[in-house]
Amino acid sequence: MLRIGHRPVRDHRVTTHVGLVARAFGADGIILEEHVEKSVIETLLETAKRWGGPFEVRVTDSPRREVFTWKKGGGVIVHLTMYGINIQSSNIVERIRRRENPLLIVVGGKKVPRWMYQAADYNVAIGNQPHSEIAALAVFLDRLFGGEELIREYRNAAIKVIPSPRDKIVRRLDSEKRRGGPSNTG
């Protein structure tokens, strides 16, 4: 996915959470603008290292170029915006899923440039009310993957949660597992 419109300092936490949600809800990676704070990138990389991946983080000096390069390569652009086609009152997710081309999902910040609306193959609204890039991304990915992303196993994780109704149980995975060996959970 691609996050545009990051405002240094002010959006530090929001952009971090966009990245965390992207990873936890099934995206393969995130492209950030080059002025995003190093600490945002470090948090995302550290999370992927501890909790598993794959999850790629990279920066760009031109989000516009990323979008057009992606399109040229046969990829599909989905831009999440309150002005788009309402996800609930259309079959837009089914149409996107059927395309099978690599998806680049874009979320914005305060103001998204006009070219983004034109370049997108799909401008998708998670309802037509203003809310948040974090919420929009979570809902879109969950609809796209039909909830399957929530039970996905992450590769090369150093730790994982053992679900529990009452306790906080975290299992440290052995180095064999981290190298792709048999699971020691159960």
Binding of residue 47 to ligand SAM (CB under 6 A)? no
Binding of residue 132 to ligand SAM (CB under 6 A)? yes
Task: State the number of binding residues for ligand SAM (CB under 6 A).
Answer: 18
Residue 75 neighbours by CB distance under 10 Å: 15
Binding of residue 125 to ligand SAM (CB under 6 A)? yes
Using CB under 6 A, pick the residue from 72, 98, 118, 129 that binds ligand SAM: 129
CA Rg value for the chain: 17
Using CB under 6 A, pick the residue from 109, 145, 156, 158 that binds ligand SAM: 109
Specify the 3-state DSSP secondary structure of 107: strand
Binding of residue 108 to ligand SAM (CB under 6 A)? yes
Instruction: State the Cα–Cα distance between residues 140 and 120, nearest whole angstrom.
Output: 15
Taking the alpha carbons at both ends of the chain, their separation in whole angstroms is: 33
Binding of residue 89 to ligand SAM (CB under 6 A)? no
Peptide bond into 54 cis (omega under 30): yes
For the chain, the residue count is 186
Residue 182 neighbours by CB distance under 10 Å: 7
Binding of residue 26 to ligand SAM (CB under 6 A)? no
In this structure, which amino acid lies at residue 12? H
Nearer to ligand SAM, 33 or 133 (CB): 133
Using CB under 6 A, pick the residue from 74, 130, 180, 186 that binds ligand SAM: 130
Binding of residue 112 to ligand SAM (CB under 6 A)? yes
Residue 149 neighbours by CB distance under 10 Å: 15
Binding of residue 13 to ligand SAM (CB under 6 A)? no
Smallest distance, ligand SAM to C-beta of residue 156, A = 30
Contact 143, 25 (CB under 8 A): no
Residues binding ligand SAM (CB under 6 A): 80-83, 107-110, 112, 125-127, 129-133, 136
